[in-house]
Structure 1
């Protein structure tokens, strides 16, 4: 393994679905040796997302689990748990999105593990923080979107509560968890000690939403209602042109006044509703309406040329299919093709962020369930005869011994 700022860091990954795998993929992409520990049934995401060539290898699982090794251990089996503890003794970081009560029952809580490995950093990604009454409740992304106000922003904007059509709270919380682990590794470099990190999805998303929308309620007593009326305007969206859609973002005075000239209404710079950023914010609905009416008069390409000459931020609207052929992403080599040993030719996204000090050079394919069980346990000191015995006892699984699972 080579390259990347986290080269030499070993992560034991007891996570599933999206929020945890996003965290550990971020660490893996930066060079960490991530060992994904899966139960005999495997991560549910292997089977629940549409699109696969073979059972247990869905497209979404492949995207969220690159650069990892999979060890399949039955933690309900005493020897499977013993193998887990031996792996944890070699680890720098342990990441889980298992509820704390279940971790304590397994003896995998931080207090139980730190005696054997005082340098271990344990990051627990939770639905809810341990201080509140929702602690230990189960939740997935839509539950958090509903509770945290994400769905409510749609009701304010378009008249009905909706979910963002991607697991946004999982992505954001997973990235925050990866960031928090980086902070803890930095502190450990000076103290020599590990620590427990708690990353609650609900609180993180409530912070995310209310940092944006607390607005006038920041003050006590409030000086106005909650909500950023620009972002909650029905016209805060891609706007129709003669032949498609475009998005514009003229926020500064120079940009707004250049936009007014572009749509043939230069006099609007003197309109008291639009003459400053503060007034355009206060009158966001009217300002967005002017933008929508003006943009309907020309084609997308015409507007991109006109607005580009005036240095007004603007971009065409990309469908998901358009995104896959976006010229900038093609220039950057964002989508790459690889040969997977069991799944054949695959498309993957490149790690977007670059480090001048070096990047991970190897690109491990998303693993089959238990693909690296023997490999990682050999690294923890197991011999071949002992591994054979564990396989026979059902404490560990290898790919050839997996039960067949319907897609």
Structure 2
């Protein structure tokens, strides 16, 4: 079944806010899409070439799967910022904005006359969100940053190496997407400040700093103290064998946390000997035992099916979830119930699946009003609006 997209006026909490998306790839565009989902009018200024628009597409050049997932609820304006006339049009659009999101390098912004100081003189109330790989006051400010380099520079690769025995990159662009969320909440905070004071401001969101702070919440561990009282690394996450288990018919996350959880798990697996083990009969599980107990969970899990483990874990309040297979996510009852994947009709791409809005507002719900535009689709309409302001 194919659903249609609402074309009604935005009703989300950011209705009336205009965002100019002057960013590329994922970090900035995903943040701008989130603000669009929440009701903002997002105008994407893009050059004829964007990495996210290159690669596989079904019918229309530039309409790649990734571009479809980070550019909805936007209008696309194609401008060549090196052309004097089109550069001036871009500045006029920014003059109308409440928020600007960019991930251009500082030297490029300087050459274009689009630094915060340049634009604040024209639009003092502008919230200027500048995302980049490294802090502007560091000696790495001009370095290229990709998700893999940020995973390395933030310590995430070290975490993986210690936990998995191999310095792998996580198979998701975590640095980009965590930074996207950080851009979004930072912009909202700056808009709140502006509503109270009338003042805009510059926000700097360095990917590496963002992911370092993210990683250290639990992994600073014993180094929270000075001098250190133990190693870095959250013990449970770092334990060998800390992974989903194979049941009789599939994969599941089964995570007993408390001694009672372990005893109930082992009893259900028909292992009374393990249920009586001293390691699961104290007041808490010793972190030194995590690895050995994980191996026992792995050993016992194939005794029951995933559905049977779900019943056992629900009965005994043991944290558990079947592993969602991405190829079948659109069939999953939880995903379907939350409209987290809906099939819709795109004007140029035909039937596509679109990811839903995960946050629910009781009074000002977000909405998907526009599917991702073809590059430059809205240039004439948006520029025409400038003449009426």
1:9 aligns with 2:17: yes
User: Any idea what SS the aligned residue of 1:235 has?
Assistant: coil
Give distance in 2, aligned partners of 1:40 and 1:94. 20
Shift of 1:311: 2.2
2:200 is matched with: 194
Partner of 1:393: none
Matched, 1:341 2:341: no
1:295-326 deviations in Å (ceiling 9; x for gaps): 12222222222222222221212221132211
Match of residue 44 from structure 1: 51
Q: Pick one of 257, 264, 281 that aligns with 1:251.
A: 257
Number of the residue aligned with 2:267: 261
Partner of 1:217: 223
Q: CA deviation at 1:52?
A: 2.8
CA distance in 1, matches of 2:227, 2:96: 53
d(CA) in 1 for partners of 2:147 and 2:283? 35
Paired position in structure 2 for 1:18: 26
Gaps of 5+ in 2: 1-8
Asked if 1 retains the 8 angstrom alpha-carbon contact of 2:37 and 2:368, the reply is no
Distance change in 2, residues 1:277/1:196 (3 Å): farther
TM-score scaled by length of structure 1:
0.89
Q: d(CA) in 2 for partners of 1:276 and 1:196? A: 53
Distance in 2 between the 1:174 and 1:83 partners? Answer: 27
Q: CA RMSD in A?
A: 1.8
Asked if the contact 1:280/1:287 (under 8 Å) is kept, the reply is: no
User: How many residue pairs were aligned?
Assistant: 381
Do the aligned partners of residues 194 and 299 (structure 1) sit closer, same or farther apart at CA in structure 2, a change above 3 Å counting? same
Q: TM-score, normalised by structure 2?
A: 0.93
Partner of 1:35: 43
Q: 1:128-277 to 2 correspondence within 5 Å?
A: 128-265=134-271, 268=274, 271-276=277-282
Describe the superposition over 1:269-316 as per-residue Cα deviations: whole angstroms up to 9, x where unpaired.
Answer: 664433457534332111211211121222222222222222222121
Report deviation, 1:264: 3.2
Q: Secondary structure at the match of 1:366?
A: coil
The aligned residue for residue 5 of structure 2 is: none
Q: Is the 8 A contact 1:14 1:36 kept in 2?
A: yes
Corresponding residue for 1:127? 133
